[in-house]
Amino acid sequence: MSFLTIFNLVIFTGLLSFIFQLSKREIGLSKLVLVGLLIGTVFGAYLQIFFGTDHRVSHETIEWTNIVANSFVNLLRMIIIPLILVTMIAAVLKVDEIKSLGRIGGSVVGILVFTTMIAALVGIFMASITGLDATEFNLGEREAARAEILESRQDSVADLSIPELLTSMVSTNIFRDLSQSRSISIIAVVIFGLLFGIAALLVSQEDSRHKERIFSFIETSQAVVMRLVKIVMGLTPYGVLALMTRVMSTSDFNAILTLINFVVASYIAIAIMFAVHSLMILMLGVNIRSYFKKVWPVLTFAFVTRSSAATIPLTIRAQIEELKIPAPIANIAASFGATIGQNGCAGVYPAMLAIMVAPSVGVEVDLSFIAYLVLVIAIGSFGIAGVGGGATNAALVVLPLMGLPVTVAALLITVEPMIDMARTALNVNGAIATGMVTSRFLEEKKESPEKLVVEQTIEEG
């Protein structure tokens, strides 16, 4: 290890210590996360400017700072399955009617798919007005090699039909899905949790002795898991600092400048979708400033990790504890939102790519093409893994179904990380907004019969 690497690590340790000292002053988590984000940006930029991406000092420094970054992400991934399983079972036990679970799931999936269709239209709009055209891009040797790899992955990504995909969501081996061996393992665990919770609820109704033991065990387990989430949540500022250091020090800014039009258009499209989410929340009568203040740590973590799946524990906690969304809705919205209807990765991105590629192969972009594209994106959004690179997988599903080549995705892989950060934050925000809308919708639906009875009583009186 060189002297400069040791010097950099001393600085990094000092930055971690600085955040720790701030935390002792009872500064809010949102502010600490912002501090971690800013400090990580500056420290990462320092590594990029003074050493560059390929310098040995940069590699050695990031290798050590990754201990903090990767450990934090691993901690969250470690608790995803226990959190989903335990809280899903607990949520079912608290639901008065089993049939309401179907309404929750149907509402969540419907809203996620609907907003993904809107995101696709936004992507189409931005690609059209900015004149993005894949014919302007030339594939170099490195990009050509990537294109070959993507084409080889194409069959493995899109080898399931929609009926087969829906069938595969039901686990054949729950222990395999508990280890997250499949891209849709999270959905499989949610379904298992629902069924297990229903069985536990029926058993508790049949025997009061079982009821007391079941409720006591699940409530205790949920309390322990949520406490674990809170402990990990407290480490977010340190994780964000290390993750942002890695992002800034390893980004290829020359490539970003080369594809600046696509980067800018992507961020504008993402900003428009954030505005759409904000409008949805405003229609519920919620204060937007207060909302974003509560979900800021969650969106920041999603931004720096590029993983909707890893953000699930924070997403569930923010919905239940900060936004007061019922646990069943929060669990389903967070879990489904990481694998179904991702507005950024499965909506905006493949739509922009399709509009860019179509002219280069002589395909006319008319209303029928757009309508079919939006439909394909909505269907293709099912089962896209909520991890870094999920947008590329979405493109590998959508482009072939539209009869378009996937080679342009190879060139854009260069700038993917910088755009993917904002897309992931949009995915997570879409899941949270879906939870809020579903909560209000079902709450009003539940109250409406009571209001009707009151009105009838007044009329009769």
CATH T-level fold of 3-454: Proton glutamate symport protein (1.10.3860)
DSSP 8-state assignment for residue 207:
-
Specify the pLDDT at position 457: 42
Highest mean pLDDT pick, 90-104, 207-221, 396-410, 435-449: 207-221
Average pLDDT over residues 51-63: 87
- Indicate whether 122 pLDDT > 50: yes
Give the integer Cα–Cα distance in Å for 404 and 367: 17
Give the integer Cα–Cα distance in Å for 365 and 134: 14
Model confidence over 99-120: pLDDT tens digits? 677 788 888 889 999 999 999 9
Lowest mean pLDDT among 19-23, 85-89, 421-425, 445-449: 445-449
Specify the pLDDT at position 260: 81
Give the integer Cα–Cα distance in Å for 131 and 122: 14
- Indicate whether 307 pLDDT > 80: yes
Distances (CA, A) of 19 to 70, 230, 300, 344, 390: 18, 18, 16, 31, 32
Query: Per-residue confidence at 452, pLDDT binned at 50, 70, 90?
Result: very low
- Indicate whether 329 pLDDT > 80: yes
How many Å from the N-terminal Cα to the C-terminal Cα in the chain? 87
Highest mean pLDDT pick, 72-86, 142-156, 408-422: 72-86
Give the integer Cα–Cα distance in Å for 411 and 305: 22
Give the integer Cα–Cα distance in Å for 184 and 22: 40
Model confidence over 356-413: pLDDT tens digits? 888 877 778 888 889 989 988 888 777 565 555 667 777 877 887 787 877 766 667 6
Q: Retrieve residue 51's tokens.
A: 């050493």
Closest-CA residue to 333 (of 311, 345, 348, 315) = 315
Instruction: Give the contacts of 251 (CB within 8 A, at least 6 positions apart).
Output: 48, 53, 417, 418
Specify the pLDDT at position 387: 56
Average pLDDT over residues 26-52: 87
HSE-up of 412 (CA within 13 Å, CB side)? 28
Query: Per-residue confidence at 219, pLDDT binned at 50, 70, 90?
Result: confident
Query: Per-residue confidence at 16, pLDDT binned at 50, 70, 90?
Result: very high
- Indicate whether 461 pLDDT > 50: no
Model confidence over 145-170: pLDDT tens digits? 455 545 544 444 445 566 776 787 78
Lowest mean pLDDT among 5-19, 54-68, 165-179, 210-224: 165-179
Give the integer Cα–Cα distance in Å for 438 and 206: 31
Residue 394: what residue type?
Answer: A
Q: Retrieve residue 141's tokens.
A: 């040797």
The per-residue DSSP string of 353-389 comes to: HHHHHGGGGT----HHHHHHHHHHHHHHTTT--SSTT
Specify the pLDDT at position 157: 44
Residue 187 sits at φ, ψ, to 5 deg, of -65, -40
Closest-CA residue to 446 (of 107, 197, 198) = 107
Specify the pLDDT at position 18: 94
- Indicate whether 237 pLDDT > 50: yes
